[in-house]
Amino acid sequence: MIEIEGITKRYGESTVVDDVSMVIEPRSITVIVGTSGSGKTTLLRMINRLVEPTSGAIRLDGADNRSLPGYELRRSIGYVIQGHGLFPHRTVAENIATVPLLLGWDDERIRARVEELMSLFQLDPGEFSGRYPHELSGGQQQRVGVARALAAGPNVLLMDEPFGALDPIIRNKAQEDLLAIQKRLGTTIVLVTHDMEEAVHMGDRIAVMDGGRLLQYDTPDRILAHPASTFVDTLVGASEKPFRLLSLGRVGDAVEEGPAEGEPIAADASQRDALAELLWSGRPALPVRNANGRLIGKVTVDGLVRRAACPA
Amino acid sequence: MGTRFDKLGAVIAAIAAYACLFAPFATFRANRIVPGEARSMLESLPPAAGWALMAIVTAAALVALLRTPLMLRLGASLAALVALAVLIGVAGSFLTPQDNTYARVSPAHGFWLLVFAFTLLLADVLTRLALSPWARMLTLAGAAACLGLLLASGSWDSLSILREYAGRADSFRAEGGKHLTLALGSLAAAAIVGLPLGILCHRVDALRAGVLNVLNVIQTIPSIALFGLLIAPLGWIAAHVPGAAALGIRGIGTAPAFLALFLYSLLPVVANTVVGLAGVPRAANDAARGMGMTGRQRLLRVELPLALPVILTGIRIVLVQNIGLATIAALIGGGGFGVFVFQGIGQMAMDLVLLGALPTVALAFAAAIVLDAVVELTSIRKSEVPS
Ligand SMILES: Nc1ncnc2c1ncn2[C@@H]1O[C@H](COP(=O)(O)OP(=O)(O)OP(=O)(O)O)[C@@H](O)[C@H]1O
Ligand SMILES: [Mg+2]
């Protein structure tokens, strides 16, 4: 659990983060969104004390984050920086081994851990351990950056626009992979982005920032349904709201009884994808099959349209 | 038509033609200070050797002139250089009358032009071959070994430079040692002081401009003036600080020379350290802090390794500069190869000047090649810096 309490950061006259308080639940993904310069990076960096706050306090699992020297604190928190920041003079394996090495793990344990992480991120150790960062594609560099941050098994992972530099297809894949890995490891993730789509897709909770202030901190559906201010409303994008709302739900939750014609859709696909498929194929309903391939009912245009309406 | 000729080759062939036909190959003097008499290539050598050299040089010049394969050009330049090196020795013994120890035979400008022309060809070939750093160092070692072999074989012993050497073998070795001590010692001192100073300048903005300005000013003082400027304060220290004189600190001699070279060396070391550290990608630095490195770990594991190629470039500048500048140290009694240069100038004996100058040039050249190779070896990995 991360408790942020009245945290403020000033540079000279300007207040970059202004009296922000929020509680981040363990094992959840919290996404901080906001326009450029709204103080997202600064807020994130105060958690691992790369930036020292002007006032306020941050507690990690109850302990003030100032109770350790900064560098020791940072070894226990994963950090993925804007633009991955791999060390250009170190190989992939050496990059990933950075924190375990600082923690004084023995060679055998480090080697095993590096291999484990490389496999987890679909980087063949035989092929990639000896490569230098400039010999990797952008997507591979990004994965190495995340693997490096997770190397010492931190409970908390801070990520600053981790997918910013990726093309849409690779970004989607990277997001899915991260969700799967988060589920598996149970890491608490705080992720900064200025992409609302990403925020709605990834976040258990979303924190919206503007001008250093925390405007709203809530679950994605409540942010969509009840924006706290016109700014949040514009950030969400009025014309996108129904589709974002649908993207939060699974087809399995919208199943109605009865048969339907055509190729079935998977129950764990998003309702938004189902609506897109219905509209595109011009049909009123699609059959739904569950993970075992059994047909469990149908999903209809009418049903989805009802779900896309503001949940008052 | 024009495409069949090599541009650089045309220059080389022109130089070679002039050197063969119109310039003297060797100079003969009855003793070391009378004016010399010029001897052409054919006059300097036994007829067979003379014509053979003429043929080799002509053939090599033709290879250079026409567009020929790289390996042929390499062979031609090497053959010409080896022939010149061996036959100048033959000319020495051919022109010197039997049992005459006063006569002096030295290479004349025709010989030097030929050496220059074919070295140019060789350098061009080596550049085009784009040798790896290790291959370049091996080539250098090979060239040094050949030179050593020629010297040891005694085939050059009748040449004037080696006659001058023969009488001074001991002092040559001693001054050579002093020369290297001056050049390398002042470099080591500059690295020991300059590296931390550079790191400090990088971290403390307020210090940077001031330190670099002072070092810049020192760099602009002419070397002879700087030697002179140091005589008074060092003399004073020697006279007034107990124990200083015992340490070898005096107004003239090695101390001021060492100090001057050290001062000249500081700017390149400090400036390149500052530039190198400033060039470390921000993201790498940020990641290092974010991963939990302490300031020291970040410096040693991230900043210095990434700045190393730039810092080494500074060291290379200093080393080559110091090997050259150390020659001037002889003026204030600091020793080194400069001793022969200035003695030679005083006695109007050019061979003695060359005895000091040639090893200096060779050392600087070798140092440049070795350090260039090292710089390249250390920078291979970061051919591209991630954003
Ligand atoms: N070290 C600093 N000194 C002075 N001002 C700073 C410093 N760091 C950040 N700022 C200012 O604080 C504000 C917020 O910066 P921050 O990096 O937190 O924004 P951000 O929300 O992450 O923006 P982006 O989406 O562009 O990354 C900016 O106006 C920036 O200029
Ligand atoms: Mg930012």
Domain containing residue A305:
243-309
Angstrom CA distances, B76 to A160, A258, B61, B83, B325, stand at: 61, 91, 8, 11, 35
Indicate where chain B has its CATH 1.10.3720.10 domain(s): 169-384
**Tokens in use for A258?**
């009865």
Query: What's the mean pLDDT in B42-67?
Result: 93
Of A236, A271, A286, the residue at which a domain comes to its end is A236
pTM of the model: 0.82
Cβ neighbours, 10 Å, residue A27: 14
Pair (A177, A258) in one structural domain: no
> Which neighbouring-strand residues pair with A14?
A11
CA angle (B374 as vertex; B371, B378 as ends), nearest 5: 140
CA angle (B287 as vertex; A14, A212 as ends), nearest 5: 20
Asked if B23 and B80 touch (Cβ cutoff 8 Å), the reply is no
Residue A208, domain CATH: 3.40.50.300
The verdict on a CB contact (< 8 Å) between B381 and A132 is: yes
Query: What's the mean pLDDT in A90-111?
Result: 95
Residue A26 to residue A61: CA distance in whole angstroms: 9
Q: What is residue B298's predicted lDDT score, i.e. its pLDDT?
A: 95
Note the pLDDT tens digit of each residue in A243-291: 888 888 888 888 888 888 888 888 888 899 899 989 888 888 989 998 8
Rounded to a whole number of angstroms, the distance between the first and last alpha carbons of chain B is 49
ipTM (interface pTM): 0.85
Low-confidence winner among A53-62, A64-73, B148-157, B273-282 (lowest mean pLDDT):
B148-157
* Domain B169-384 CATH class label: mainly alpha
> Which H helix or E strand runs over B260?
helix B254-278
Q: Whose CA is nearest to atom 27 of ligand 1?
A: A36
Residue A255 to residue A275: CA distance in whole angstroms: 13
Query: What's the mean pLDDT in B114-133?
Result: 92
Q: What is residue B3's predicted lDDT score, i.e. its pLDDT?
A: 62
Report residue A4 CA to chain centroid gap.
19
**Tokens in use for B157?**
């012993």
The verdict on a CB contact (< 8 Å) between A102 and B293 is: yes
**Tokens in use for B167?**
């009488």
Query: What's the mean pLDDT in B115-132?
Result: 92
| CA distance, residue A149 to nearest chain B CA (Å) | 8
The string of DSSP codes covering A279-296 is HHHT-SEEEEE-TTS-EE
Mean pLDDT over each residue of chain A, to the nearest integer: 92
Long-range pairs, A283-289, Cβ under 8 A, ≥24: A285/A258, A285/A260, A285/A261, A286/A260, A286/A262, A287/A259, A287/A260, A287/A261, A287/A262, A287/A263, A288/A251, A288/A252, A288/A255, A288/A264, A289/A264, A289/A265
Pair (A108, A65) in one structural domain: yes
Pair (A220, A200) in one structural domain: yes
Pair (A146, A6) in one structural domain: yes
Query: What's the mean pLDDT in B289-293?
Result: 94
Residue A125 to residue A127: CA distance in whole angstroms: 5
Domain tally, chain A:
2
Mutate to test the interface with B, among A44, A68, A81 (most CBs of B within 10 A): A81
Q: What is residue A258's predicted lDDT score, i.e. its pLDDT?
A: 85
- Pocket mutation for ligand 1, best pick of A18, A42, A160 (most atoms within 8 Å of C-beta): A42
Residue A278, domain CATH: 3.90.1280.20
Mean pLDDT over each residue of chain B, to the nearest integer: 88
Closest-CA residue in chain B for A46?
B290
Low-confidence winner among A50-64, A211-225, B124-138, B235-249 (lowest mean pLDDT):
B235-249
Q: Which residues of B touch A84 (CB under 8 A)?
A: 283, 386
Note the pLDDT tens digit of each residue in B316-353: 999 999 999 999 888 888 889 999 999 988 888 888 89
How would residue A94 be classed by pLDDT, with cut points 50, 70 and 90? Answer: very high
Q: Which of A50, A76, A83 sits opposite B283 (nearest CB)?
A: A83
Pair (A162, A279) in one structural domain: no
Of A214, A236, A258, the residue at which a domain comes to its end is A236
Query: What's the mean pLDDT in A143-159?
Result: 94
